[in-house]
Structures are given as structure tokens and as C-alpha cells.
Chains A and B, each alone.
Chain A
Amino acid sequence: MDQALYGIPVIGLVFEFIGYLIAIAPIIAPIVLKASVPIGFAALCGVMCERSGVVNIGIEGTMLVAAFVGWTAGVYLVPVLGSDPLPLFGATPTLIVALLLAILAGVAVSFVHAWLSISVKADQIISGTIINIAAFGITGYLISLLSISSPEGAGQFQAWHPPQALTTLPVVGWLFDTILGQGPITIGLIVIVIVFQIVLFRTRWGLRSRAVGEHPRAAETVGIDVIRLRYRNVMLGGVLAGLGGAFLSMEATAAFQPGMTVGKGFIGLAAMIVGRWTPIGAFGAAVLFASTVGIAQSILIAPPSGQLGDILISLPPQFFDALPYLVTIVILAGVVGRSIPPAADGQPYEREAAT
């Protein structure tokens, strides 16, 4: 050990910590990617809605309802559709149908938000808040009714095992292992991020969506149906939030807990802002926020040696529970002023009266 460098207390510790992070990066990468999935889907849902001018605070509640519907559908469908796993991802017919129903639930909840904010022209933040409160209340009520008989769930999606030839490659092998050694919803997220990025900036639909979010009046004058496009995009956002919710109760775990989203929908919104309303940026920010989970786990299991390790171990374990939220606040406060939302974000659109 170079005493001279570590003699400077704080800077030495910072370097030591960075070194530790680099050392553990390949090991915690799969954990981080998993933790980023619900945040990432929430962020993508936010991008989808806000790019076309609708603020969606209700993503948290949408995910919660989807998680509930996915798990509950599994409970009811297992006796009908059985649980013979297909060769890929341990998917059973029950799980596949339940996943589709979870997505549908996400779309349905998003439709309510779309109706409230586009047609009723309610304040969009109040509308989203009501969706969150309602989702929490209704799923809480139904789960306490259901769990009286403690029903059997339909299990969960399994991770894929990529071929050894890929994962043992030098230098990049761990990356393949991280990305491909996952369940279908996680791998789906990565595919969706890339497709969404291309579609949003390279296709007619993407251009129209962005136009509706920046200057709906101008978009309408060139013949774009603002109302219809906003409805469609908010409901597409519901597909994304539905996938994020389904991940929680069908891939990460095989159970539903009341309030199991624990703020991930809101962290997703912060990720969207930090990622400047682009799919890839939002996903990157989601991974950044999720990395706190991986780092915390790593510190608990294999803390660094020396003075740094002593300091980290002496912190109360709750500090690491709070870390994702603290990091979100700090980064959001640092970034938000320089991150510019779509110009018509959150403004209900009034058609000009026909004369």
C-alpha cells in the first residue's frame, strides 16, 4: 500500500472506493440490471407519455395494479392452463396469459389517466396521484380478501442460461452473462429501449409524437389528431408500465405484496428527467439509480478491506435502504435545471372552435 496516497484521509478513501466499485462491477452487474428493470420501464412509460405532452405521475399505481393482476391471474389460471414449462424461460402457458393480462391492466389504468387528463382536462398531477391512491387502496383490499385462503401462485419466469462460449469470452464475457442470463422481461427491456430510441427519433410516428408534445397547435394544423395520438401514446405507456409491474410479481419474485412498487415509479420519473426524455438516457439513469442496490448488497456481503470497509460496515443497514432515494434526490436536484422538458408537457389541449 502506498502510504503517501492513503495518508490524505478523504481523497484516499474516495480512490479506494472507486477502486472497489471497479472491482465489483462485473459481479454486481446482473443484480443492478435486475433492479433497474421496474425503474427503467417506469422511465420509458414517462418518456412515452411526456414526449406527447401528458404528465403521468400515476406510473407507480399503474405498475402496482399490473403486478397485482399478473399474480392474481396466475392464481386463477393455473388450474385451467396448467404449469408445464415451455423450453424457454420456464414459461408456462399460465404465465404467458397472466403476463398479457398484466399488460392489459396497465393499459386500462393508463386509459383512465388519459381520459382524466386529456378529455376531462383535470390537473394531470392530481389525476396521477388519484391513480396511485386508488391502486394502493384497491390492490390492498383485494389482496387481503384473496390471502385469506393463501392461494398458490403460478410461479415465475426463469433466467435464460446463455451458451458457455459467450459468457467465457475474455473481457466482454461478463457483459453477455449480465444481459442474456436474465428472464424474458429484463431482456425485453433492453430490446424495447433500443427499438423505442430508434422509433422515437427516426419514424413518422416518433416525429408526430414529439410534435404533439412540443407544439400541439402546429401539429394539428398539419393534420395530426392531437387528442387521438395522446390517447394512444399514454396507453402504449401503459404497456410499458404493465411490463414493469409484471416484472415485480412474475419475474423478480413469485408473489404480490401490498405496495410492492415502493416508489420505483417515481424513481423512474426522476430517471426520465435525468435521461433528458430519451429512451436510452432514461434507461441509463435507471441503471445508475439501480446501481446503489447492487453496491449496497456487495458492501453487506463482501465489504472492502481496511479503513474504508470499517467505515462502510459501521453505517446502519437502513442507510443502504435509503440510498437509492437519496441518490435520486441529489442527482435530480443537480440535473433538473439543465434538462428541458417537452414544451407542451402537462398542458391539456383545447381544440380551436370550428367556425
Chain B
Amino acid sequence: MSARLSRAWAILALPVISIVLSVIVGSLVIIFSQWLVSGELQPGLAFDAYSSLVSGSIGSERAIVSTLNNTAPLLLGGLAVGLGFKAGLFNIGVQGQFLMGALGSVIVGVQLRESPPIFAIPVSLVAGMIFGAAWGFIPGFLKAVSGAHEVVTTIMLNFVAIAILAAAVSGPLNVVGSASPTTLPVGNASLPVIIGRNGTIALIYAPIMAVLYGFLLFRTTRGFEIRIAGASPDAARYAGMSPRHLIIWTMTVSGMLGGMAGATDLLGQTHSMATSYATTVGFDSIAVALLGRTSPLGIVLAALLFGAMNTGASAMQIQAGVPADLVGVLQATILFFLVVSPVIKKIFRLKGAKTGLEDSATTFTATYGGEATIR
């Protein structure tokens, strides 16, 4: 029993310490920045902010359902980034894949708004997945063929996706006569509510995707190839795997998950799309994948944490007067402490603790020049 406990602690120690440290840093940021702006020192403000953050995210049944709803896209996005990490690919393009996925699902969903839900919902969801997959395929293909690093191409594609979305919503998808450009609602293609006031079916299929992700990585040949290619591209090549093929495959599936996240948000939450449609899921999911150390269970837990923070943020802004953007600061500091975990390990004398990032993610920079994988 104590052996199992100490193993669990070895895995959890650094993420937990990172979260605790970031809460401390966050309270310093709240108190200090408020002091700079208003000239009053209010040490109690940090407590108010955190308590409203917690009660706004898990304080009531309604808050919990909102948290779960916000968790689902983050979970899917985290899986998208995590899959890339496992293969040594850094998909910063979940942002764009999310937007394209939402766009794909709204295009089809509006067409099918009066069809039977049993047909409209899966088709719209799959449309979003296909759009996302296409948006992941492009950087994968470019990397495999020309060596253009995915970090630059996916970021560029994020901005292209924003432009396409704006063009589509203010052009062909715009409802005639609306004050500001917006699409029709998706009607029957909306995800059905199964829990509470608005807990959608995504609360079921998102965790299933996490299980499939684990199955793919640890129980299939393709998953084995992905992990080998991520750990050592040379070994993968020596064993006769095709790095080019793996890069394209992984980026496409990763994009598909990103697209599914977008479709989930659109079909489950907003139901229609305005030109202002935007998201922070893309960048949050990088943090989720890192905090979850790319493991399926870890990503689920990290997504829950981030989903709760994003849900409680508005309550914090209203009740404590601390801008909701503070959540971005907290998430960034968690990441920062994770990355400096070798240093933290020394300071807290955690000999056995796993530093996470080093074993799962060592090859991004190695492929940066565009040569390492392309031979």
C-alpha cells in the first residue's frame, strides 16, 4: 500500500506543487496589481478572489454542470496536443483546428437544423471533425514534405482560420436582415442535454475519447509507433517506420480532436456563430496536455482544473472585482513551475518525483531545423 502511495506521490508531486505555488504567486499578483492601480493595499482581496473562483466553479449544481461543459472541449483539445507530444510534434494549432471544427459543424448543422436529431447531430459533429482534421493535415503534410516546422505553420494557420471564419459568417452563412453578421442556430443538430440544465452529451463522449486515446497509444501498433517516433526518431526510422507517414497521420488525428472540441463548443454551447466567435481553448489545451503529462487520466484531471478555473473566472470578476484574465496568469504560472520542475525537485528534495516534461517532450527543438525527421 505504501509503495503504491509513494508511486502516486512521485507522479503527482510536481503538478500539485506547481498548482500550489501558482496560487501563491497569483495572490501576490492580485494584491500587488490592485495596489498599483488603486493605491490601497487589500490583502483580503486574494482570498475573496479565490473563494469566488471556487464557489463559481463548484459551489452549486449549476456551477458544476457549467464546469463540466467547459471541461469537455478542453479535454478534447488536451488530447489533441497530447497526441502530438507523444509523437514529438508540437501542435500549437489547436486554436485554428477548433475554429475550423466549429465552422464545419455550423455549416452542416444549419443545413440539417430541421432534420431528425439522430441524423443531424452525428453528421454535424463529424463535419467539424473533418474540418479540424484537414486543418491538422496541412501542417503535418508541410512538415513531412518540406520540413517547415509545425510551430510556425500552425500559428499562421490559426490566423488564417480566424479570417476564413469571419469571411464565412459575414458572407454566405450570414442571416439576411440580422443586425450584426451571425449564422442561423443549428436547431436539431444541437447536442442533447442529459444532465442538469445544460449538461450535454459531450460529457459522455469526451471521456470516451480519452479512453480511446489511451487505447490507441498503449494497446495498438500505431500507438507504439507514435511513442517510438516521439522518443527517438532515429530508432523509429531504424525499425522501418516511416516518419513522414507518422507525422501526417498524427497531425491529422490531432487536428480531428481539435475540430471535435470546436464542434462540441458550437453544437453544445453557442448553437450559432457570430464573427466575434473566439476561444482560448487552443492555448489552454497546451497547458492541459503539459500539466496532464500527456497521460489520458492526467489530461482529464488537468482539463477539469482548467475548466473549473475558466468557469469560476466570471464569478470572480463580478464578486471580487478581479479581472477574469487572472485565470490566464494562474495557468501560465502553473506551466512555468512545471517547466522549472528540475529546480523545484532540488529545492523540495523530491528525489523520486517524475519531472514529466523531460521524457515526453524532448524532440520538438530537435526537429526545429527541419532536418531531423526528414530523411
How many interface contacts (CB-CB < 8 Å) are there between A and B? 162
Q: How far is the CB of A64 from chain B (nearest CB, A)?
A: 12
Q: Quick check: is A126 within 8 A (CB to CB) of the other chain?
A: yes
B111-119, B295-303, B358-366: which lies at the interface: B358-366
Q: How far is the CB of A90 from chain B (nearest CB, A)?
A: 28
Complex contact B328–A130 (CB within 8 A): no
Complex contact B147–A133 (CB within 8 A): no
Complex contact A322–B361 (CB within 8 A): no
Complex contact A333–B148 (CB within 8 A): yes
B327-375 residues with Cβ-Cβ distance < 8 A to A are 327-329, 331-333, 335-336, 339-340, 342-343, 357, 361-362, 364-366, 368-371, 374
Cα–Cα, bound, A142→B33 (Å): 7
Q: Quick check: is A122 within 8 A (CB to CB) of the other chain?
A: yes
Residues of B within 8 A of A270 (CB): 152, 156
Residue of A nearest to B153 (CB): A329
Residues of A within 8 A of B333 (CB): 134
Q: How far is the CB of A74 from chain B (nearest CB, A)?
A: 15
Complex contact A322–B164 (CB within 8 A): yes
Complex contact B369–A120 (CB within 8 A): no
A1-9, A233-241, A339-347: which lies at the interface: A339-347
A143-151, A196-204, A219-227: which lies at the interface: A143-151
Complex contact B369–A341 (CB within 8 A): yes
A153-161, A184-192, A260-268: which lies at the interface: A260-268
Q: Which secondary structure dominates where chain A touches chain B?
A: helix
Q: Quick check: is B149 within 8 A (CB to CB) of the other chain?
A: yes
Residues of B within 8 A of A125 (CB): 90, 151, 364-365, 368
Cα–Cα, bound, A94→B286 (Å): 39
Residue of B nearest to A315 (CB): B167
CB < 8 Å neighbour of A345 from B92, B283, B323, B369: B369
Complex contact B325–A326 (CB within 8 A): no
Of A116, A137, A266, A273, most B-chain CB atoms within 10 Å: A137
Q: Quick check: is B287 within 8 A (CB to CB) of the other chain?
A: yes
Q: Quick check: is A89 within 8 A (CB to CB) of the other chain?
A: no
Residue of A nearest to B138 (CB): A329
Cα–Cα, bound, A299→B370 (Å): 35
Complex contact B369–A133 (CB within 8 A): no
Complex contact A329–B148 (CB within 8 A): yes
Q: Mark A15-58, 1 if CB is under 8 A from B, else 0.
A: 00000000000000000000000000000000000000001010
Contact A116 B339, CB 8 Å, known A130-B332, A326-B160: yes
Complex contact B323–A336 (CB within 8 A): no
Complex contact B286–A120 (CB within 8 A): no
Complex contact B160–A136 (CB within 8 A): no
Complex contact B369–A137 (CB within 8 A): no
Residues of A within 8 A of B369 (CB): 340-341, 345-346
Complex contact B90–A141 (CB within 8 A): no
Cα–Cα, bound, A230→B156 (Å): 28
Residues of A within 8 A of B152 (CB): 266, 269-270, 273, 328, 332
Complex contact B159–A325 (CB within 8 A): yes
Residue of A nearest to B275 (CB): A318
Q: Quick check: is A84 within 8 A (CB to CB) of the other chain?
A: no
B53-68 residues with Cβ-Cβ distance < 8 A to A are none
Complex contact B166–A126 (CB within 8 A): no
Q: Quick check: is A306 within 8 A (CB to CB) of the other chain?
A: no
Residues of B within 8 A of A273 (CB): 152
Interface residues on B, range: 35 or more
Complex contact A133–B37 (CB within 8 A): no
Cα–Cα, bound, A17→B168 (Å): 26
Contact A316 B171, CB 8 Å, known A133-B332, A263-B156: yes
Contact A319 B342, CB 8 Å, known A325-B159, A340-B369, A341-B368: no
CB < 8 Å neighbour of A333 from B92, B153, B166, B357: B153
Cα–Cα, bound, A333→B29 (Å): 42
Q: Quick check: is A110 within 8 A (CB to CB) of the other chain?
A: no
A302-339 residues with Cβ-Cβ distance < 8 A to B are 316-319, 321-322, 325-326, 328-329, 332-334, 336-337, 339
Cα–Cα, bound, A67→B162 (Å): 23
Complex contact A130–B159 (CB within 8 A): no
Complex contact A333–B332 (CB within 8 A): no
Q: How far is the CB of B163 from chain A (nearest CB, A)?
A: 4
Complex contact B323–A145 (CB within 8 A): yes
Q: How far is the CB of B161 from chain A (nearest CB, A)?
A: 9
Q: Quick check: is A124 within 8 A (CB to CB) of the other chain?
A: yes
Complex contact B364–A126 (CB within 8 A): yes
Q: How far is the CB of A169 from chain B (nearest CB, A)?
A: 39
Residues of B within 8 A of A124 (CB): 365
Contact A263 B158, CB 8 Å, known A55-B365, A123-B364, A145-B34: yes
Q: Quick check: is B146 within 8 A (CB to CB) of the other chain?
A: yes
Q: Mark B121-146, 1 if CB is under 8 A from A, else 0.
A: 00000000000000000000010011
Q: Quick check: is A11 within 8 A (CB to CB) of the other chain?
A: no
Q: Quick check: is A81 within 8 A (CB to CB) of the other chain?
A: no
Q: How far is the CB of B318 from chain A (nearest CB, A)?
A: 13
Residues of B within 8 A of A263 (CB): 155-156, 158-159
Residues of A within 8 A of B92 (CB): 129
Residues of B within 8 A of A316 (CB): 167, 170-171
Complex contact B336–A141 (CB within 8 A): no
Residues of A within 8 A of B148 (CB): 329, 332-333, 336
Q: Quick check: is B157 within 8 A (CB to CB) of the other chain?
A: yes
Cα–Cα, bound, A100→B329 (Å): 25
Q: Quick check: is A140 within 8 A (CB to CB) of the other chain?
A: yes
Residues of A within 8 A of B166 (CB): 318, 321
Complex contact B163–A333 (CB within 8 A): no
Q: How far is the CB of B246 from chain A (nearest CB, A)?
A: 19
A254-306 residues with Cβ-Cβ distance < 8 A to B are 262-263, 266-267, 269-270, 273
Residue of B nearest to A328 (CB): B156
Cα–Cα, bound, A199→B124 (Å): 58
Residue of B nearest to A144 (CB): B323
A-B contact pairs, 19 of them (CB 8 A): A124-B365, A125-B90, A126-B339, A127-B339, A129-B92, A133-B287, A134-B332, A145-B33, A262-B159, A263-B159, A270-B152, A270-B156, A332-B152, A333-B148, A336-B147, A341-B369, A346-B365, A346-B366, A346-B369
Apart from A325-B159, A336-B148, A336-B149, 16 more pairs, CB < 8 Å: A120-B340, A125-B151, A125-B364, A125-B368, A126-B339, A130-B335, A134-B333, A140-B328, A144-B324, A144-B325, A266-B156, A269-B152, A318-B166, A337-B146, A341-B368, A341-B369
